[in-house]
Amino acid sequence: MRVVVVGSGIAGAAASYELARARVDVVLVDSLTPGRATSAGAGIVCPWSSRVDDPDWYRIAVAGAEYYQELLAALTADGETELGYRRVGSLRLVSDVEAEDALRRVAARAAQSPMAGEVELISAGRARELFPPLEHNGPAIHISGAARLDGRLVRDAMRRAAVQHGARIINGTATIVADSAVRGVQVDDVFIGADAVIAAAGAWSPQLLEPIGVQVRVTPQRGQIVHLRLPGVDTANWPVVLPRSRHYLLAFDDSRVVVGATREDGVGFDHRVTAGGMAEVLGEALSVAPGLAGATHVETRIGFRPMGPDVRPMLGTVAQVAGLVVVNGLGASGLTMGPYAGSVAARLARQVDPGIDLAPYDPLR
Please tell me the predicted confidence (pLDDT) of residue 245: 87
Domain count along the chain: 3
- Residue 212 and residue 138 share a domain: no
- 240: nearest Cα among 45, 86, 91, 64: 91
Please tell me the predicted confidence (pLDDT) of residue 203: 96
Let me know: does 300 contact 214? Beta carbons within 8 Å.
no
- Residue 250 and residue 182 share a domain: no
Query: Is 60 inside a domain boundary?
Result: no
- Note the pLDDT tens digit of each residue in 295-336: 999 999 999 999 999 999 999 999 999 999 999 999 999 999
Distance in angstroms (rounded) separating the CA atoms of residues 232 and 253: 11
Mean pLDDT of 154-183: 97
- Residue 288 and residue 268 share a domain: yes
pLDDT band at 32 (very low <50, low <70, confident <90, very high): confident
- Note the pLDDT tens digit of each residue in 257-286: 999 999 999 999 999 999 999 999 999 999
Please tell me the predicted confidence (pLDDT) of residue 33: 87
Distance in angstroms (rounded) separating the CA atoms of residues 200 and 326: 6
Boundaries of domain holding 195: 2-39+152-217+310-361
pTM: 0.96
pLDDT band at 253 (very low <50, low <70, confident <90, very high): very high
Cα 205 to Cα 1, 38, 229, 246: the distances in Å are 24, 15, 35, 26
- Residue 250 and residue 103 share a domain: no
Show contacts of 65-70: CB within 8 Å, 24+ apart. 65/113, 65/115, 65/147, 65/336, 65/337, 66/113, 66/114, 66/115, 67/339, 67/340, 67/343, 68/147, 68/149, 68/339, 69/115
Query: Is 71 inside a domain boundary?
Result: no
Q: Using alpha carbons only, what angle is made at residue 152 by residues 63 and 118, rounded to the nearest 5 degrees?
A: 40
Mean pLDDT of 188-209: 97
- Residue 242 and residue 276 share a domain: yes
